[in-house]
């Protein structure tokens, strides 16, 4: 089951952000995935619409990271306000923990333009989380290729506006000397444009 979101200006209709998600059902006793009962599907199917906020793309594999990751932030613990009604850490906190490992230089000079999350397990109030982050070489290669295509007279700064870098992320907890992954993710960052508050 999908849930999509679109954030736009009520006045101008300009779209600021789009998001999509895939939801599954889980058996509360076994904590395993479960098939959606026909009666539940029949109850919610009238609300389904044949429209997507983001066009379907091939699922990109998110690589596993280990303690050799370039950036690591350890000792992250959830607060009471981070928990949902099931006493699990909410999704927004996961994003915050991932950003904790992003280098400061990136946060100052780039803005987040895309994020992909792949959930692996639940995170509870007693878990101590480690945030791993690794820059992707593909982003650097794309920047070099883009610079080589800049038209004469475009100016160096204008070319930098479209620069982007990418990071792979993993949130994990250590139990009995073994690492248990909570979330894998990817973030894409575009060069900040100081002249415009929002770049489409």
Distance CA 102, CA 108 (A): 10
199 flagged as catalytic: no
Catalytic residue among 73, 88, 150, 179: 88
DSSP H or E run through 132 = strand 129-135
86 flagged as catalytic: yes
DSSP assignment of 86-108 equals TSBB-HHHHHHHHHHTS-HHHHH
- Take residue 154 and report the two structure tokens written for it: 């475009």
Catalytic residue among 50, 68, 86, 145: 86
123 flagged as catalytic: yes
For tokens 């333009």, the residue is 113
DSSP assignment of 51-88 equals --SS---PPPPPPP--TT-SEEEEEE---GGGB-TTSB
- Decide: helix, strand or coil at residue 199: coil
Positive or negative torsion for Cα 49, 53, 55, 57:
negative
Q: Which of 76, 130, 70 is nearest to 103 (CA)?
A: 70
Q: Which residues are catalytic?
A: 86, 88, 123
């Amino acid at each position: 089951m999908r849930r999509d979101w679109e954030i736009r200006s009520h006045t101008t209709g300009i779209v600021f952000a789009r998001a999509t998600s895939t939801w599954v059902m889980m058996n509360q006793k076994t904590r395993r995935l479960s098939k959606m009962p026909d009666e539940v599907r029949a109850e919610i199917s009238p609300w389904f619409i044949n429209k997507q906020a983001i066009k379907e793309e091939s699922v990109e594999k998110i690589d596993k990271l280990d303690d050799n990751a370039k950036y690591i932030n350890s000792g992250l613990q959830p607060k009471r306000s981070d928990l949902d009604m099931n006493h699990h850490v909410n999704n927004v906190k996961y994003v915050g923990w991932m950003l904790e490992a992003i280098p400061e230089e990136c946060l100052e000079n780039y803005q987040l333009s895309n994020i992909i999350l792949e959930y692996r397990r639940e995170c509870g109030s007693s878990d101590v989380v480690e945030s791993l982050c690794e820059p992707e070489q593909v982003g650097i290669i794309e920047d070099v290729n883009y610079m080589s295509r800049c038209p004469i007279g475009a100016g160096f700064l204008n070319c930098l506006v479209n620069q982007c870098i990418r990071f792979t992320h993993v949130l994990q907890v250590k139990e009995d000397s073994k690492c248990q992954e909570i979330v894998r993710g990817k973030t894409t960052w575009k060069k900040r444009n100081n002249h415009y508050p929002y770049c489409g």
